[in-house]
Amino acid sequence: MNTKKKGMTLIEKQRMSGWFFLAPASIMIAVMSFYPMIRAFILSLQTGTGANMKFTGFSNYQRILADKVFIQSIGNTFFYLIIQVPIMLVLAILLAQLLNNQHLRFKGLFRTCVFLPCATSLVSYAIIFRSLFAQDGLVNSILVNLHILPQAYNFLGNALSARIVIIIALIWRWTGYNMVFYLSGLQNIEYSVYEAAKIDGANGWKTFWGITVPLLRPTIIMTFIMSINGTLQLFDESVNLTKGGPANASITMSHYIYNTCFVNVPNFGYASAMSFIVFIMVAILAFINLKVGDTRD
């Protein structure tokens, strides 16, 4: 007769408890992320409004290819991405390196001052920058009084300068945010490594490129992916700072999708198709960054 008691082993119980703790988060991710993505794709294959939605295949995606405003919004968004992200991340690394100095006094104060813009409301700081760069704003007043400009310049009324204002605003707000990640990474590097490099005769520049950058590589990849993701979904600055003008010269993809949904005649199917294009862009760029930054054999 078999007298063994049936039941789960200790390993099976541990596995079940692991799934038990993972289940709530997994369900939330599925409901809040994957399900909306699937619904958005299905909606992107339809046209019409309300109960009159009908399946039309990939007609919305074909329309995107002929939509000059959306193509312009893609160009604007990548203009911000190519210029703003590298400048912001380089500044963040340099500030983190500077504020990680053991002999620097008032480090806490300086770190707080650099991080404070990140705590500012998105709408508030956009309105502040809009006031600063207005024709009667502080920037024009300073430049005219210093005789750098003969008269007030319409920064927000010119296509190139409007985009540059958005880039300046983004750098001002998000540099401190990324600096915190780099500062955390630098504090995990043993100071003895730098001392050994100094004894070997390495100067500051060689130490930075030979020690700091390689050891910060995972953090750099993470911040680069987050910055790309955020820039491709840029919305508040375009809406509140330049309102997408002049003549859609500074409009972003998310801003144009919002206008298609809620400002102009609502077209949720077409807006979903554009949103799915943005999702694909983010996924591809994130995948490329992960592959380029993966140093495993």
- Per-residue pLDDT tens over the stretch 201-239: 777 777 878 888 888 888 888 898 889 888 988 998 899
Mean pLDDT of 235-254: 90
pLDDT band at 1 (very low <50, low <70, confident <90, very high): very low
User: Measuring CA to CA, which residue among 163, 155, 127 is closest to residue 240?
Assistant: 127
Q: Residue 41: which residues within 8 A CB-CB, separation 6 or more?
A: 272, 276
Query: What's this model's pTM, rounded to 2 decimal places?
Result: 0.84
Percent of the chain with pLDDT over 70: 95
- Residues 95 and 114: beta-carbon distance below 8 Å: yes
Distance, in Å, from the CA atom of 166 to the CA atom of 169, rounded to the nearest integer, reads 5
Residue-wise pLDDT tens digits, 63-99: 998 899 999 999 999 999 999 999 999 999 999 988 8
Residue-wise pLDDT tens digits, 16-61: 888 888 888 889 988 888 888 888 888 888 887 766 778 888 888 9
- In a 3-state reduction of DSSP, which class is residue 140? helix
| CATH, range 39-293 | 1.10.3720.10
